[in-house]
Amino acid sequence: MALTRVIKMSVIAVFTYKIRPGRFGDVMAKLQQAGGPEFESPVMPRAVRLLRNAVPGPDTTSLILHIEYDDMAAYGARTAWENKNPAWQELFAARPDSPEQLESVQLLVEL
């Protein structure tokens, strides 16, 4: 019997947010709340990275959030959990007074 090797490819969800002037602290508080124990699920990301442009200029109002999962199944499980969680939906609901505006989402697969 031949053994086959299963290769898992990491999945990275990339969220780009535009931060409203003077609201950086509010966004950071929101993201800290999102990382709290009330939002732990059976499947969690492998890594989370929050980035911003290091050189002053027009792009310094953007934040880029990378959330890495072991594979597509883990991404799907976490996303399903978020979509069914009313508190999560409330936290990230798009509102005119939100401190951030979601500009784009990319789902990348590691090669």
What tens digit of pLDDT does each residue of 2-34 get?
555 556 789 999 999 999 988 999 999 999 999
Q: What's the whole-model pTM score? A: 0.85
Residue 7: predicted pLDDT = 62
Residue 110: predicted pLDDT = 79
Q: What is the mean pLDDT of residues 55-65?
A: 78
What percent of the chain shows pLDDT beyond 70?
A: 88
3-state helix, strand, coil in the chain (%, to 5): 35, 30, 40
Q: What is the mean pLDDT of residues 83-90?
A: 97
What does the angle CA 8 – CA 64 – CA 83 come to, to the nearest 5 degrees?
65
Mean of the per-residue pLDDT values of the chain: 90
Phi, psi of 15 (to 5 degrees): -110, 130
Residue 9: predicted pLDDT = 86
